[in-house]
A = this chain, B = another copy of it.
Amino acid sequence: MLYVIGLGLGDARDITVKGLEIIKRCELVYLESYTSILTCGKEEMEKLYGKEITVADRDFVEQEADIMLNNAETKEVAFLVVGDPFSATTHTDLILRAKERGIKFQIIHNASIMNAVGSCGLQLYHYGETISIPFWTDSWKPDSFYEKIYANRQHGLHTLCLLDIKVKEPTLESMTKKKKEYMPPKFMSVSEAADQLLQIVEKKKSEGIQEIAFDENSIFVGLARIGHESQKIIACSLAEMKNFDLGPPLHSLVLPANNLHELEKDYLQQFSEKPL
């Protein structure tokens, strides 16, 4: 039996009572650690659960997941996922593989950024398509997500921007070697995201495009560590966001619709130093 258990967003105690009960009776407990992170360490979780946890990193999910599924054929196995189990494609794929092999599974839901972004007061049913902003390199600066932001703005919708995470990425030098070496983990900040968005604005302007989805004066909402006690939300212009430090990861960015409902505006105001 495979239990895929959402951990929520904050610390170890954001697991549900049901999820905790299940972990306590499982023989094997794995923690997925490459699509997201909790703000607490593995040790804190092991203490609460009374179980040893095996960290499942990128290599694991891509290569060793079959071993976990083999175990789930005869044992009670828990696979812990930050946020909700369906927040990442890799988990959907894992569940499908379990199903194809005839392994029974149960999903335990929890909060994820996809619904906890409601914390900034913008109503969830007024969001359009969610976009992801990847880390740019000197030679690779993809901006196809811009068109999605543009479409959302056209329809009077908010846009949630998920910011890139690089965990356990092999170094370029070790790619061809047998023993991989890994880069330190990287989490995009709202400041870095704002910098890239400003570059897109400049590019559009230099191309003579008149109607741009947003510019340096557009109000964005920066969110950090949502669901954790140290959570921070700021509403300011894109230019200001570039110079703003929201502290440790994870960060997300929201571009509100042009026209906000009265309640949305009132709620958002508390996160801004200037009148919105």
Contacts and interface: CB of A to CB of B under 8 A. Distances in A.
B107 A87 contact: no
A89 B125 CA distance: 10
A6 B124 contact: no
Contact of A14 (B17, B92, B266): B17
A93 B118 CA distance: 13
A236 to B, nearest CB: 19
Contact of A266 (B18, B96, B270): B96
A116 B17 contact: no
Interface stretch (A68-76, A126-134, A216-224): A126-134
Given A85-B118, A86-B118, A96-B121, 5 more contacts: A86-B121, A110-B110, A114-B124, A127-B130, A128-B129
A238 interface: no
A157 B129 contact: yes
A259 interface: no
A8 B270 CA distance: 27
The quantity of this chain's copies bound in the complex is 2
Interface of A: 6, 8-18, 20-21, 48, 83-87, 89, 92-93, 95-96, 99, 107, 109-112, 114-116, 118-119, 121, 123-132, 151, 155, 157, 162, 226-227, 263, 266-267, 270
A124 B130 contact: yes
A17 B111 contact: no
B8 A16 contact: yes
Contacts of A111: 6, 84, 109-112, 115
A128 B128 contact: yes
Given A121-B92, A155-B151, A270-B99, A86 B107 contact: no
Contacts of A157: 128-129
A142 to B, nearest CB: 16
A119 B86 contact: yes
7 contacts: A16-B17, A16-B110, A83-B115, A84-B111, A86-B115, A96-B267, A125-B130
A155 to B, nearest CB: 6
